[in-house]
Structures are given as C-alpha cells and as structure tokens.
Amino acid sequence: MAGSSYSVFNAMTDIIAAPGKALEEVRQHTAWLWWPFLLAIAAAVGVFGYYYSWVDFPWLVDETIRQLPAESRAESAEVVRKFMQQGRTMWATLIGVVVMSFIIYTVQALYFHLVNKVTSGAKIGFGQWFSFVAWVNFVNIFGSIAALVVILTAASSQLATTSLQPFSLNSLLLHASPGDTWFTWASSFSLLSLWTIFLSAIGFGRWTGASAMRSWVIALLPWVSVFGVWAAFKIG
C-alpha cells in the first residue's frame, strides 16, 4: 500500500510503471482526476492548435476536397472552401476536442458505474468512476506527444491530419487511404486503445474484487461491441 507521502505526481508515473498501485491509490483521491483529465486535454488542444497554425492550409483545403467522392466533388468544393477557414477550423477542432473528451469520459464512467452496480455492488460512486476513466485514459497523452513528433519531423508543412495518428491500426497495419472502406474504422483503434483496455481490466478488478476473467470481459465489451458492429455493417 502506498504511503501517506504518495502524491498525484507519483500516480502519473505509476499509471505507466506500476498501474495497479496507481489505480488503488487514486480511488481514495477522487479530486486528483483533474490532473490527468486536464493534462490530456491540454496536450491534445496544444498539438492541434500548433498543427493548424503550422500546416500549409490552402494545401489542406485542396487535399480535403480531393478526398471527397468523385461524383460530388465539384458541387461540394465551394462549400468546403467557404467552411474551411484556418481560424474557424482550428477553433472548431479545439472546442470539439474538449467537448468530445468530456462526453466520452462521462459515457465510460457511466458504463463502469452501472456494470459495478450489476456485477459487484461495491460502494463506488459515479465521481470515483469518472476519476478512474480519467486515469485510464491518461496514457492517451502519448498520442499527442507522438503527433507532435510527427509534425516536428515532417519534411514539409503539407501534412494531413490523418498522419497525426502513428499508433493507429491503420498507420501500423492497414495503410488504407481516406475514403477507403476500412480507413475510419482502422484509424479509430490504436495501440493506446489496447493500453486503456489493459488498465481498465486491472483497475476494475482492483476496485471491485472481480476476477481477472470478469474484469477483462467488462473492459473489452464496449470496444468489441462498437468495433464489431461497425465492422459487421462494413462487411454487410
């Protein structure tokens, strides 16, 4: 058990090096959730803000138009050019990152909260589960770091947003192009997704006393359901 000198900074290190220890400790310190939550969002906002101020924006607009379906490209081009103004696109993205992060965290916390009530009955409140989700997802900060490295090492400022996901299944294995059937599906799952699943399984077991098997099933179920149904529609 961590000692009384254990701090939020210890937890941010241990969520990577000793996740079981970190997740046991943060259960008793719900207020610490703001550190991983805000740092992860700030990293993503910072990277996207830098990207949109750095990228060759006229090229990005043309590239976006080029990726539209051929049959609607001509009629949609003018609409894209009007909407895709550099400042507007940047702010829409940054606001989207903040809002979607909050929505995703809330949905995930609600899932674990309800599953706990049904399967274990451990006395853990929704706020604690939100903290749990914030800590589990803190490792996504490495996605922001990787995106920044991609930008800083790019040969030119003509870099598509799709290149900012070097850990995605698409970048690592499929190499599908925008518009291809599996592009969005494969770009939405990454090595970091596997890491969060791993942390969720460890943490749920530690918090509720559930068996390893049950914890893994609970951690995997949302991902398998979403990506499995999504894949089934594509195959069908």
Is residue 3 one of the residues assigned to a domain?
Answer: no
- For residue 222, give every residue at least 6 positions away whose Cβ sits within 8 Å of its Cβ, in sequence order, or none: 108, 111
Distance CA 8, CA 6 (A): 7
Contact criterion met (CB below 8 Å) for 15 and 199: yes
User: What are 168's strand-pairing partners?
Assistant: 190
Is residue 2 one of the residues assigned to a domain?
Answer: no
For residue 116, CA distances in Å to 61, 68, 71 come to: 46, 44, 49
Q: pLDDT tens-digit profile of 104-113?
A: 999 999 999 9
CA nearest neighbour of 215 among 105, 80, 122: 122
Domain that holds residue 113: 8-235
Is residue 220 one of the residues assigned to a domain?
Answer: yes
What is the distance, to the nearest Å, from the Cα of residue 147 to the centroid of all Cα atoms in its chain? 13
For residue 165, CA distances in Å to 14, 24, 72, 175 come to: 25, 31, 27, 12
Angle at 90 between CA 98 and CA 172, to 5 degrees: 75
The pLDDT assigned to 75 comes to 84
Contact criterion met (CB below 8 Å) for 33 and 134: yes
Is residue 171 one of the residues assigned to a domain?
Answer: yes
The pLDDT assigned to 69 comes to 76
- The type of residue at 51 is Y
Is residue 1 one of the residues assigned to a domain?
Answer: no
DSSP conformation letters of 129-184:
HHHHHHHHGGGGHHHHHHHHHHHHT-SSS---GGGG-TTBHIIIII-PPTTSTTHH
Is residue 145 one of the residues assigned to a domain?
Answer: yes
Domain count of the fold of the chain:
1
DSSP 204: H
Tokens of 114: 């309800």
Q: Which residues of the chain have pLDDT under 50?
A: 1-3
Contact criterion met (CB below 8 Å) for 55 and 104: no
Stated pTM of the model: 0.92
Contact criterion met (CB below 8 Å) for 204 and 119: no
The pLDDT assigned to 236 comes to 64
Distance CA 61, CA 83 (A): 10
The pLDDT assigned to 74 comes to 82
Is residue 97 one of the residues assigned to a domain?
Answer: yes
The pLDDT assigned to 235 comes to 85
The pLDDT assigned to 2 comes to 46
